[in-house]
Amino acid sequence: METSKSTVEEIRQRFDGDVERFSNLETGQSATVDAPLAMSLVTEAAAATTPQAQDLLDVGCGAGNYTLKLLEQIPNLNVTLVDLSQPMLDRAVQRIQSKTTGTLNAIQSDIREIDLGKNRLDIILAAAVLHHLRSDEEWRAVFQKFYDALRPGGSIWIFDLVESSIPEVQDLMWRRYGEYLVALKDEAYRDAVFAYIAKEDTPRSVVFQWNMLRTVGFREVEILHKNSCFAAFGAVKR
């Protein structure tokens, strides 16, 4: 892990104190461009491609928004929630437990440390979490873990902060994101968001992640949406 970046413990501590910002099902996380649209697209795509789903894993579940949205499409799933932050998990369980008759399991851990098993999941959701992965080896290991854990016919859907593959386009998208944050609040808010991204995050491009999904075994990959430096995409295991 890069020494200049936040440790897992530092990231966990920040999210422990940020539960309320992740608890609005209508707006999602405000610092994220097109959060409500992405949540709808991801969960609708999951339901459309994997309508027979019974077992869901929500990685970096936060306060549970994506699971709640998917349960509107496919009710009564068995749900496994994973997050670094126990307060986030507590809020997610509180919000989700009355929305499904399936089992609900909450795990406080880092996805890099969990054994997901083989062929036991139907849908994996990963929203605003994978940008915390660091090296290429970590990305590959986690994506391989996702592929192996899905049953045939299962799917994974991701929404995340992404880089652009072309430096000039990255500069353009970063400027546009900065303008979005200023319009949302002010320049101080933009600077604060940029500072914690620089400290915590190591996003990769959609192209990188698309190729990694194929490398670990996925043959059907799809981009749902991209705006500025945020993208929604996924893959189906056949």
Instruction: Indicate the residue type of 1.
Output: M
For the cut 50, the answer to whether the pLDDT of residue 2 exceeds it is: no
The pLDDT value given to residue 6:
63
Sheet strand arrangement including 220-227: 104-108, 78-83, 55-59, 121-127, 150-161, 230-236, 220-227
Query: What pTM, to 2 d.p., does this model score?
Result: 0.90
Half-sphere exposure of 133 (CA within 13 A, CB side): 26
> Could you tell me which residue, 19 or 224, shows the higher pLDDT?
224
Angle made by CA atoms 20, 232, 52, in degrees to the nearest 5: 90
Q: pLDDT band at residue 11, thresholds of 50, 70 and 90?
A: low
C-alpha 65/C-alpha 80 separation (Å) is 14
C-alpha 152/C-alpha 204 separation (Å) is 27
**Over the stretch 181-238, which tens digit does the pLDDT of each residue have?**
999 999 999 999 999 899 989 999 999 999 999 999 999 999 999 999 999 999 999 9
CATH number for the region 8-163+202-236 comes to 3.40.50.150
The pLDDT value given to residue 25:
53
The pLDDT value given to residue 114:
95
Q: pLDDT band at residue 24, thresholds of 50, 70 and 90?
A: low
Task: Look up tokens 């880092």; give the residue.
Answer: 110
Domain ranges of the chain: 8-163+202-236
C-alpha 147/C-alpha 118 separation (Å) is 9
